[in-house]
Amino acid sequence: MAAGITASQMRKIHASARERGMDNDLLHIHVATLTGKDSLKELTIHEAVQVIDSLEGKGTKEPGGMTWKQMSYIQSMARELGWVTEEGKVDDKRLNGFISKRFGVDHYRWLSRSMASKVIEGLKNMRKGQEETK
């Protein structure tokens, strides 16, 4: 069994998230997206390193793929638009439907950096449209 997250890694994750203006909910969304785990306490040392690196902007999932910052921002925008499940998590089906229809990519995790930027702009425009109708 892999060793669990250390106290210093936990502090580093929280500090890095605060530096980037992430609240606790957004941090947990980011961690769940990255590792599939809902709690920081469940992370292994290796997963904690991945989370820290992603919060510091180091690396992407794959060469040419969107950055973790872009992924977190897309998820944050989806939450602002109300695209959430009953549990309060991002509604992947709705988000993927939007991306598939407008950008021809079946899942948001497969976006390239440039395509992720276009998705972000599209989501910003949708949010702006919602604000104007209020």
pLDDT of residue 68: 79
Taking the alpha carbons of 58, 61, 67, 68 in that order, is the dihedral positive or negative?
negative
pLDDT of residue 1: 55
Please tell me the distance from the alpha carbon of residue 22 to that of residue 1, in angstroms, as a whole number: 31
Please tell me the distance from the alpha carbon of residue 107 to that of residue 56, in angstroms, as a whole number: 24
pLDDT tens track, the chain, 134 positions: 568 899 999 999 999 888 888 888 888 888 888 788 888 999 998 888 888 888 876 654 455 678 878 888 998 999 999 999 888 888 989 999 999 898 888 888 788 888 999 999 999 998 888 877 76
pTM listed for this prediction: 0.54
Please tell me the distance from the alpha carbon of residue 98 to that of residue 51, in angstroms, as a whole number: 27
Please tell me the distance from the alpha carbon of residue 41 to that of residue 129, in angstroms, as a whole number: 39
> Can you name the residues that pair with 90 across neighbouring β-strands?
84
Element (H, E) at 75: helix 68-80
pLDDT of residue 60: 47
Q: Is 36 left (phi over 0), alpha (psi -120 to 50) or beta?
A: left
Comparing CA positions, the residue from 77, 73, 78, 28 lying closest to residue 51 is: 28
